[in-house]
Amino acid sequence: MRAGTLQLNVLPPLSLYVHMPWCLKKCPYCDFNSHEWRAGGQIPEQAYLAALRADLDAALPLIWGRRVHSVFIGGGTPSLFSPDAIDQLLADVRARLQLVPDVEITLEANPGTFERDRFAAFAQAGVNRLSIGVQSFDDARLKALGRVHDAQQAHNAVDEAARHFPTFNLDLMFALPQQDMTACETDLRAALAHQPPHLSLYQLTLEPNTLFARQPPPLPDEDLSADMQHAVASRAQAAGLQRYEVSAYAIPGHRCRHNLNYWQFGDYLGIGAGAHSKISFAHRIVRQTRWRHPQRYMDQAMQGAAIETENEVARRDLPFEFMLNALRLREGVAATLFPERTGLPHSAIARPLQTTQDKGLLILDPSILQTTPIGFDMLNNVLECFLPE
């Protein structure tokens, strides 16, 4: 192998991400590629499905012969699309890709789009995992977050998800505007009462280019936010949910396989407006980004040009990119995964490994890459050591 080149002997597992860019209302904290669906208008379902087909067709040569282990339909609010549209989308995917027999197919849904028959129809279409963007079960907090649903709609949606899906996830946020510890714990108790097999717990952060960044709401201070983080983690684990990633908790057998593939530096093909891809080849790893605006994306995809940017990941950036994902996992990853997924030798991370181990941030075990309990709580400090010099 020439100096400076990669050598991937085995390609990593492959996932498919499909982005549905429309939502009922843009939340003031959201920095995702989402676009409000104007009241009275119709989402161009068929035109968008045609663009997704064209996008996938153009991408097939890059992933030919590879099996897909998970499909994630995200947004935006994918549950705005009709069950018939989701059924057609999955039929199009199955006609073009080889899905593993037990493929995980996740659909993001918001309680504001909840209809009893709609959730049942998504399951009938082939979705086997629902991820529900509850964020809070407190009406005052939901209003402060700009959500379109109320607490009762959230409870109803979760009950219906449990009825139709073998596994589901609840997204819950903490450190919300004017939230105190009592309100935070009440929110978590409401979530845990549904006995979710998977729970994603996120601290509200003010992301650039959002309304909250321009007009910050009154948020809990750093000390209270840290106390909330500790409280929600402890109570979720006491309820039988294992914390397997920074923000992810699950009962045994219900971890999100799609997200695990990201964190283990697997490959993913992203189609849809603004979607991102990471695709590995024998001697290089490529990242792609699709056009962000829905209409621009549809126009470009139909011309076979859905990709706006494509860049090879530089060799010097791979250690940080790998660790940025892998060290989010509480149990870490096998040390052999680094050369397997990056094509680099262990020597590429020898110096930062020694530094972080000397500081007590990574465990002293050559067979595994895993933070110590202190390192897990100081993950940014750990990752800084793997930045390119």
Query: Which CATH number does the domain housing residue 352 bear?
Result: 1.10.10.920
User: Does any domain span residue 289?
Assistant: no
Dist. CA 348–CA 118, nearest whole Å: 50
**pLDDT value, residue 115:** 67
Residue 76 and residue 181 share a domain: yes
Within a domain: 151: yes
pLDDT at residue number 36 = 85
Q: Residue 302: its pLDDT value, please?
A: 98
**Residues 64 and 159 reside in one and the same domain:** yes
- Which of 227, 261, 295 is where one domain is finished? 261
Contacting residues for 223 by C-beta, under 8 A, at least 6 apart: none
Q: Are residues 219 and 339 in the same domain?
A: no
Structural domain count, the chain = 2
Contact 181, 227 (CB under 8 A): yes
**Of the candidates 221, 241, 261, which is a domain's last residue?**
261
> Are residue 125 and residue 194 in the same domain, yes or no?
yes
The pLDDT, as a whole number, for residue 2 is 44
Taking the C-alpha atoms of residue 376 and residue 250, their distance in angstroms, rounded to an integer, is 18
Give yes or no: residues 252 and 348 share one domain: no
Residue 26's pLDDT is what?
86
pLDDT value for 114? 61
Phi first, then psi, for residue 202 (nearest 5°) are -120, 140
Q: Are residues 246 and 332 in the same domain?
A: no
**What does pLDDT average to in each consecutive run of 10 residues of the chain (389 residues)?**
72 98 89 79 92 98 97 94 97 98 96 78 97 95 92 94 96 96 97 97 92 92 95 96 98 98 98 98 97 97 98 97 98 97 96 96 96 96 94
Report yes or no on 68 lying in a domain: yes
User: 376 — phi, psi (to 5°)?
Assistant: -65, -35
In a domain, 310, yes or no: no
Confirm whether 251 is domain-assigned: yes
Kindly state whether residues 178 and 72 are assigned to the same domain.
Answer: yes
Query: Is there a single domain that holds both residue 114 and residue 209?
Result: yes
Q: For position 77, which CATH number holds?
A: 3.20.20.70
pTM: 0.95
Same-domain pairing of 367 and 240: no
Residue with tokens 């209302």: 25
Token digits of residue 325: 């994902």
Domain of residue 327, residue span: 316-384
Conformational region of residue 64, where left means phi above 0, alpha means psi within -120 to 50, and beta covers everything else = beta
Q: Tell me: do 206 and 346 sit in the same domain.
A: no
In a domain, 303, yes or no: no
Does residue 73 sit in the same domain as residue 168?
yes
In a domain, 5, yes or no: no
Sign of the Cα pseudo-torsion (241, 244, 247, 252, in order): negative
| Together in a domain, 195 and 60 | yes
In a domain, 126, yes or no: yes
